[in-house]
Amino acid sequence: MVAQEINEEQSVHEAMLLVDDGPQGGSHVQLLEPTRQDSPVGKYLARHGEGMHHIAYGVDDVEAAIATMATSGIRVLDRKPRHGAMNSRIAFMHPKDTGGVLTELVQAVKH
């Protein structure tokens, strides 16, 4: 396990698992557990049950990626990046514009 934290803004307990430690920071699997049943993830689980919630892609500049998605006609759910796991900056795209899959853009914090 790489990290565990409670994200109060999203009302989830997050656990980040390292899958592959590649040259660009590797690949991770993030497990989410709602801390409240009325949170977005809690509501999702109540409707759909357990399973994959979303897919995330690492980007170098999340603000530039948001602009690119918006000008490409993809609905951006987060016009401004918000705080994500491991102190990253994140933004989500609307699943109706991304093949039915909720899609997250993640800019890792460089140390």
Which of these three, 11, 27, 53, is where a domain ends?
A: 53
> Do residues 86 and 106 both lie within one domain?
yes
Domains held by the chain: number: 2
Q: Which residues form the domain of 85?
A: 54-111
Q: Which one is predicted more confidently, 38 or 86?
A: 38
> Do residues 104 and 58 both lie within one domain?
yes
The helix (run of H) or strand (run of E) holding residue 30 is strand 27-34
> Do residues 43 and 78 both lie within one domain?
no
**Average pLDDT of 77-92?**
93
| pLDDT score of 66 more than 90 | yes
User: How many CA atoms lie within 13 Å of 80's alpha carbon, on the beta-carbon side?
Assistant: 1
pLDDT at residue 88, as a whole number:
92
Residues 38-63 have pLDDT tens digits of 998 999 899 988 888 889 988 999 99
Confidence of residue 85 (pLDDT cuts 50, 70, 90): confident
Q: CA 27 to CA 30: how far, in whole Å?
A: 10
Print burial letters for 61-78: b (CB count within 10 Å at least 16), e (below 16).
ebeebbeebeeeeeebee
Residues 26-38 have pLDDT tens digits of 678 889 999 999 9
| pLDDT score of 18 more than 90 | no
> Do residues 69 and 33 both lie within one domain?
no
| pLDDT score of 110 more than 70 | yes
Q: CA 82 to CA 13: how far, in whole Å?
A: 17
* Residue located via tokens 């609307």: 94
> Do residues 73 and 99 both lie within one domain?
yes
> Do residues 42 and 83 both lie within one domain?
no
> Do residues 91 and 68 both lie within one domain?
yes
> Do residues 48 and 79 both lie within one domain?
no
